[in-house]
Amino acid sequence: MSRRGWALFLAMSLIWGIPYLLIKVAVEDLSPVVVVFGRCVLGAALLLPWTVARGQLRPALRRWRPLLLFTVLEMTGPWLLLAYAEQTLSSSLTGLLVAGVPFVAALAARLVGEEERLGRVRLAGMGLGVVGIAVLLGLDVEGVGLLPLLAIALVVVGYATAPLVVSRALPDVPGVAASAIALTVTAAVYAPFAVPQLDDAARAPGEALVAVLVLGVVCTAVALALFFALIREVGPQRALVITFLNPAVAVLLGVLLLDEPFTLGLAVGLPVIVLGCVLATRRSPVRTTRSELTDVDAAVP
């Protein structure tokens, strides 16, 4: 990847490693609907005025059909399902399960005719990433209900296919504009269910309210703008490899900020994950044959 690609990649790995912990804190005292509504309102409040001021709202709305599909796949469905699942699942296990996104993305890309190659080196990198996460966190699903696992499976499908919508159907829509519209639509969808609960939510502990605030400002408004830039810089499949580092970031935050123990699994698993990410994000060589002139790696500047 380019230097800009690596900078965006590392920023997104950090920013989207935080939400699993924040959601876990928030749903201890707030309903999943209120959590999703709150983060969407905050995100839209930041991004929508910017979109209007730059004159991008009306042109973006002309692509309302793919925008609506992106909204459902990236926000409206997954965010509620994540909040629901984390009422019973740990944030670490949730992050581990979501790390399956790149594999589903690769399958989805093949099904829709995406031309990006997944060579042996990149596949090996993905495999190392999964192994590293398993070592890092451990896979302990004993006693976990089926419905939360199904919810995370749907989240994985949504996160894996949403970037394909961006790259294939929304290449000319600015990321901030698309994000602002998606956040506004999602907030409107959940408003009838969340607004009646706001009085009770206002009396929630400060930790829960701060968690929603950070989710809305940093992990939603800022992160979505960066994520669109990352997709256009490195391609949809490679962008999703951030899901390998997200669980590692969550664990590191626990060690650094919450005084959680630095385990052997962390010491061994984290380097394996980093190596897997380096290999999985490696740019495939550009070939000059006619059949490969449309390869995504060749098209990305």
> Per mean pLDDT, which range of 15-19, 59-63, 121-125, 282-286 is the poorest?
282-286
Quote the pLDDT of residue 35.
96
CA distances from residue 168 to 12, 115, 232, 258, 287 in whole angstroms, order as listed? 21, 12, 11, 42, 22
Residue 17 has pLDDT above 90, yes or no: no
Per residue in 241-260, pLDDT (tens digit) is 666 677 777 777 767 775 65
User: What whole-number distance in Å separates Cα of residue 206 and Cα of residue 26?
Assistant: 10
Angle formed by the axes of helices 32-53 and 223-234, nearest 10°: 70
Residue 286: band (very low, low, confident or very high) from pLDDT cuts 50, 70, 90: very low
CA distances from residue 97 to 104, 110, 120, 234, 244 in whole angstroms, order as listed? 12, 22, 23, 23, 10
165 versus 93: which is more confidently predicted? 165
User: What whole-number distance in Å separates Cα of residue 169 and Cα of residue 294?
Assistant: 16
Quote the pLDDT of residue 55.
92
Residue 292 has pLDDT above 60, yes or no: no
Q: To 10 degrees, the CA torsion angle through 252, 258, 259, 261?
A: -50
Per residue in 164-178, pLDDT (tens digit) is 888 788 888 888 898
Residue 297: band (very low, low, confident or very high) from pLDDT cuts 50, 70, 90: very low
Quote the pLDDT of residue 287.
42
Q: Are 37 and 191 in contact (CB under 8 A)?
A: yes
Residue 296: band (very low, low, confident or very high) from pLDDT cuts 50, 70, 90: very low
Per residue in 115-158, pLDDT (tens digit) is 556 677 777 877 787 787 677 656 555 566 789 889 998 998 99
Total-model pTM: 0.78
What mean pLDDT, rounded, does the chain reach?
Answer: 79
Residue 73 has pLDDT above 80, yes or no: yes
DSSP letter (8 states) at residue 217: I
Residue 82 has pLDDT above 50, yes or no: yes
Quote the pLDDT of residue 117.
61
